[in-house]
């Protein structure tokens, strides 16, 4: 096996599609660093483990000597990628996009080598004049765009398709033109967009890119793809105890996928619970360091094996007199909405020194809270001190 064949085989590991067949190997054989593109629209504030699957593959390209081009879709985020959606995406404000873009870069560099990453914002070239936009629109037909499976499903269901959404594959394809991409990566739900990018590059006289798609990571609910909107995600920036605790909730049958896609490894020969503990420790160590991983595992042990309170419960002082409204207090202390706090109270998800609080009693005497540990859900604890 030649060096280019061996490298292509390494880079294709765990991928679903590497198209066109043989092109990646031929590109590697040219002996120059390839420009490998990934576009991320900053529509939410956090990167979760589903993003890590593709980012890890990007890092592998870096380690083989290639150049990664990370495109922050600050322009396309306002359009909305319809991939995998059965309805139109909600619009995100420009302020949110800017804030999310900064967070995305910081979190992406927990995986990527920043020194070997070229970061570009696609507003740089997509804020084009009318003549250039009309030139781009002339490169595709509506019939071609409507070949997408998700558009077909929405038309059959009578669901709306915004005109802006039809533009999205064209804009993403033009990203490849702007950065002269040799390879583009994405999840399997991006296959249409990535292949369409080849058409756009050809229309502008460029050699069309290879595409490589990675599997979609199933969320911790075990049924749908990992998504913040579905609440079945593990965020890269979440506290170590949250990452550890959520990992322990992953269904047993998903362990091979999680190990393979996130660690490029096989699960150890152990019981599923032990496999999860080792996975949880490795994930926490990856994003927060070894000491945080050890502390998170000890915290989990105390809470769920020994059924004891954590050793290091943080304290918060409140200045209240008389009765306090629990949903408002929980929102202030734990950063949740009042509606979420009421829901948890109703479900028995709020405890005071281990005693479940009555979900029908939303107002309590503040003196009852003083010096006690307020618990929200399974893993969040605060000791309340009342300023007198």
Identify the domain boundary among 178, 196, 214.
214
Confirm if 362 and 346 have CB atoms less than 8 A apart: no
Identify the domain boundary among 253, 282, 304.
304
For residues 18 and 163, state if they share a domain.
yes
Which of 34-48, 54-68, 315-329 has the highest mean predicted lDDT (pLDDT)?
54-68
- Residue among 211, 191, 210, 173 at smallest CA distance from 71: 173
Looking at the predicted structure, is the pLDDT value of residue 155 above 50? yes
For residues 335 and 204, state if they share a domain.
no
**At 306, is the pLDDT very low, low, confident or very high (cuts 50, 70, 90)?**
low
Residue 245 pairs with which residues in a beta bridge? none
For residues 260 and 327, state if they share a domain.
no
Confirm if 46 and 103 have CB atoms less than 8 A apart: yes
Question: Which comes out higher in pLDDT, residue 103 or 278?
Answer: 278
Structural domain span for residue 287: 240-304
Residue 226 lies in a domain: no
For residues 166 and 191, state if they share a domain.
yes
Confirm if 105 and 42 have CB atoms less than 8 A apart: no
Residue 235 lies in a domain: no
Domain harbouring 167, CATH code: 3.40.50.620
Q: Count of CB atoms within 10 A of residue 58's CB? A: 25
Domain harbouring 330, CATH code: 3.10.290.10
For residues 146 and 88, state if they share a domain.
yes
For residues 30 and 155, state if they share a domain.
yes
For residues 149 and 182, state if they share a domain.
yes
Looking at the predicted structure, is the pLDDT value of residue 303 above 80? no
Residue 309 lies in a domain: no
What pLDDT score does 86 carry? 41
Residue 225 lies in a domain: no
For residues 325 and 363, state if they share a domain.
yes
Identify the domain boundary among 196, 214, 232.
214
H/E/C letters for each residue in 339-371?
A: HHHHHHHHCCCEEECCEECCCCCCEEEHHHCCC
Tens of pLDDT, residues 72-104: 999 988 876 555 444 445 567 888 888 888 888
Tokens of 284: 């926490």
For residues 351 and 378, state if they share a domain.
yes
For residues 267 and 349, state if they share a domain.
no
Residue 39 lies in a domain: yes
Residue 190 lies in a domain: yes
Residue 111 lies in a domain: yes
What pLDDT score does 261 carry? 95
**At 226, is the pLDDT very low, low, confident or very high (cuts 50, 70, 90)?**
very high
For residues 20 and 150, state if they share a domain.
yes
What pLDDT score does 307 carry? 67
Number of domains in the chain: 3
H/E/C letters for each residue in 153-204?
A: HHHHHCCCCCHHHHHHHHHHHHHHHHHCCCEEEEEHHHHHHHHHHHHHHHHC
CA–CA separation, 335 vs 314, rounded Å? Answer: 15
**At 375, is the pLDDT very low, low, confident or very high (cuts 50, 70, 90)?**
confident
For residues 255 and 371, state if they share a domain.
no
Full-model pTM: 0.77
Residue 35 lies in a domain: yes
């Amino acid at each position: 096996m030649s060096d280019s064949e061996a490298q292509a085989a390494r880079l294709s590991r765990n991928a679903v599609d590497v198209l066109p067949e043989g092109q990646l190997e031929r590109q590697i054989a040219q002996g120059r660093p390839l420009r490998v593109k990934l576009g991320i629209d900053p529509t939410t504030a956090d990167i979760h483990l589903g993003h890590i699957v593709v980012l890890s593959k990007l890092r592998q390209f870096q380690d083989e000597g290639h150049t990664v081009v990370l495109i922050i879709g600050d322009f396309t985020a306002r359009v909305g990628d319809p991939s995998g959606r059965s309805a139109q995406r909600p619009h995100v404000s420009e302020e949110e996009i800017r804030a999310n873009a900064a967070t995305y870069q910081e979190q992406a560099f927990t995986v990527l080598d920043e020194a070997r990453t070229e970061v570009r914002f696609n507003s740089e070239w997509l804020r084009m004049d009318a003549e250039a936009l009309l030139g781009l629109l002339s490169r595709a037909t509506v019939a071609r765009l409507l070949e997408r499976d998700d558009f077909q499903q929405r038309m059959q269901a009578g669901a709306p398709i915004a005109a802006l959404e039809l533009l999205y594959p064209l804009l993403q394809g033009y990203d490849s033109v702007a950065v002269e991409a040799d390879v583009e990566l994405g999840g399997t739900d991006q296959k249409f967009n990535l292949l369409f990018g080849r058409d756009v590059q050809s229309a502008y006289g460029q050699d069309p890119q290879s595409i490589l798609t990675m599997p979609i990571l199933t969320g911790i609910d075990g049924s749908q793809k990992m998504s913040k909107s579905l609440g079945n995600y593990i965020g890269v920036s979440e506290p170590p105890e949250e990452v550890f605790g959520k990992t322990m909730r992953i269904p047993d049958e998903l362990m091979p996928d999680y190990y393979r896609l996130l660690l490029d490894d096989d699960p150890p020969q152990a019981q599923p619970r032990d496999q999860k503990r080792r996975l949880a420790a490795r994930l926490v160590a990856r994003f927060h360091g070894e000491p945080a991983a050890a502390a998170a595992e000890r915290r989990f042990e105390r809470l769920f094996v020994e059924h004891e309170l954590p050793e290091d419960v943080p304290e918060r002082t409140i200045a209240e007199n008389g009765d306090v409204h629990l949903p408002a207090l929980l929102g202030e202390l734990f950063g949740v909405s009042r509606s979420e706090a009421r829901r948890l109270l109703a479900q028995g998800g709020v405890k005071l020194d281990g005693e479940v609080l009555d979900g029908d009693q939303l107002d309590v005497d503040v003196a009852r809270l003083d010096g006690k540990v307020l618990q929200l859900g399974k893993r969040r604890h605060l000791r309340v001190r009342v300023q007198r």
